[in-house]
Amino acid sequence: VIIPKDDKETLAVINQAIEAARKQGIEKFGQSWAAKCRMPLHDGDTDKPEDEAYADSFFINSNNLRKPKIYDEEGNLTDDSTVVYSGCYGSVMMEFYPYQKKTNQGISASLLGFMKTDDGEPLGGTSIDVAAGFGIENSDDDFLS
């Protein structure tokens, strides 16, 4: 999730959620936990200076065990994997929670849902023809030929 630095309203909500998770972490793991706590909000200018997509922005990485709910621009729940892509715009629903492992501790973000609001410039590389990678001739293009 990439958030422009001038979106003060969204950043205020995120910081409130992070602070609530930090307080939960202190209650659960003790005051010493907070001193070494990794934070989920990162500065794109500092942490990814080589990538223009992160310029003048903050970002949050999120890993989930469960697939988040995805909604298209009309608010319809969808399983269409082409609706959302890295670079499209939307609104997110996230949960912030404290964690402690043997090797590190901090606050993590879980993406619960995403509603696409607009198309954007795709970020990253090109798509890969998975069927060709397995040696399967892709017949989708020839269906009506």
**Helical residues (DSSP H) of 30-126, grouped into ranges:** 31-35, 44-47
The pLDDT tens digits of the residues spanning 1-23 come to 999 999 999 999 999 999 999 99
Interval 50-60 mean pLDDT: 96
Interval 105-129 mean pLDDT: 87
- Identify residue 97 by its one-letter amino acid code: Y
Residue pair 41/15 in contact (Cβ under 8 Å)? The answer is yes
Q: Is the pLDDT of residue 105 over 80?
A: yes
What does the alpha-carbon distance between residue 41 and residue 44 come to, in Å, rounded to a whole number? 9
**In the beta sheet, which residues pair with residue 92?**
114
What is the pLDDT at residue 125?
61
What is the pLDDT at residue 126?
57
* Tokens encoding 108: 């993590």
Reported confidence tier of residue 145, pLDDT bands at 50, 70, 90: very low
The pLDDT tens digits of the residues spanning 19-49 come to 999 999 999 999 999 999 999 999 999 999 9
User: Using alpha carbons only, what angle is made at residue 10 by residues 4 and 14, rounded to the nearest 5 degrees?
Assistant: 110
Give CA separation, 120 vs 53, 63, 90, 126, in Å. 11, 22, 10, 15
**What contacts 63, CB < 8 A, 6 or more positions away?**
108, 110
Q: What is the pTM of this model?
A: 0.81
